[in-house]
Amino acid sequence: RKEVEQDPGPFNVPEGATVAFNCTYSNSASQSFFWYRQDCRKEPKLLMSVYSSGNEDGRFTAQLNRASQYISLLIRDSKLSDSATYLCVVLKRGGGADGLTFGKGTHLIIQP
Amino acid sequence: DTGVSQNPRHKITKRGQNVTFRCDPISEHNRLYWYRQTLGQGPEFLTYFQNEAQLEKSRLLSDRFSAERPKGSFSTLEIQRTEQGDSAMYLCASSQQSPEAFFGQGTRLTVV
């Protein structure tokens, strides 16, 4: 089983719709969780951290379910500029980013 | 530009040749990482430096791969006797104490 699993998509969604991605991780000792965004032929950039209590940043909501070992990202009122690959990222141990494990990414296409 | 800088951006080489890539991290970041990314995959961890010390190496890093960070600032990644399977995007990232990693734009290697 892969350490971090995501549905690769692509998800084709009309502009203005709500879209949700899920991600599962295998290491129950994982400590921190993130969503990164990667545009085509660009480097990954941090979108948001994911906290146990759930957290929101504008149109984006991230949630963590430790018991089921899954992480979700919800995008409301999607924009054309949201088209990108969304990478689920898990930190295996505390400290710095040396333990970051990336999923394969979920490809999102927002259609006008 | 105070972000992570990588060069060259693109490298085409013949199978069997040696290549070297350079990464200049964000100046105050003491942690530096190398990742490899192929089409349709998330970044895969290769190696990690804290200052000049190489603290972790992935099993992906075969004997043909070597990385250095001699003065704790820039880093180089060398691939000897390149193979077609080495064709990928090589990403460098840096961080300070937080888990968030800031990525460079990558070096795209094509082995022909």
pLDDT of residue A111: 96
**Strands, E assignment, B10-96:** 10-13, 19-24, 31-37, 44-50, 53-57, 65-68, 75-79, 88-95
- Quick count: other Cβ atoms within 10 Å of Cβ B33? 27
pLDDT of residue A93: 65
Q: A43 to chain B nearest CA, in Å?
A: 5
Q: A28 to chain B nearest CA, in Å?
A: 18
Tell me, yes or no, if B95 comes closer than 8 A to chain A by beta carbon: yes
pLDDT of residue B97: 74
Q: B54 to chain A nearest CA, in Å?
A: 11
Q: Which of B42, B91, B95 lies closest to A96 in CB terms? A: B95
Q: What is the mean pLDDT of chain A?
A: 90
Q: What is the mean pLDDT of residues A82-103?
A: 81
pLDDT of residue A43: 94
Q: Which residues of chain B have pLDDT under 50?
A: none
pLDDT of residue A69: 93
Q: What is the mean pLDDT of residues A8-22?
A: 95
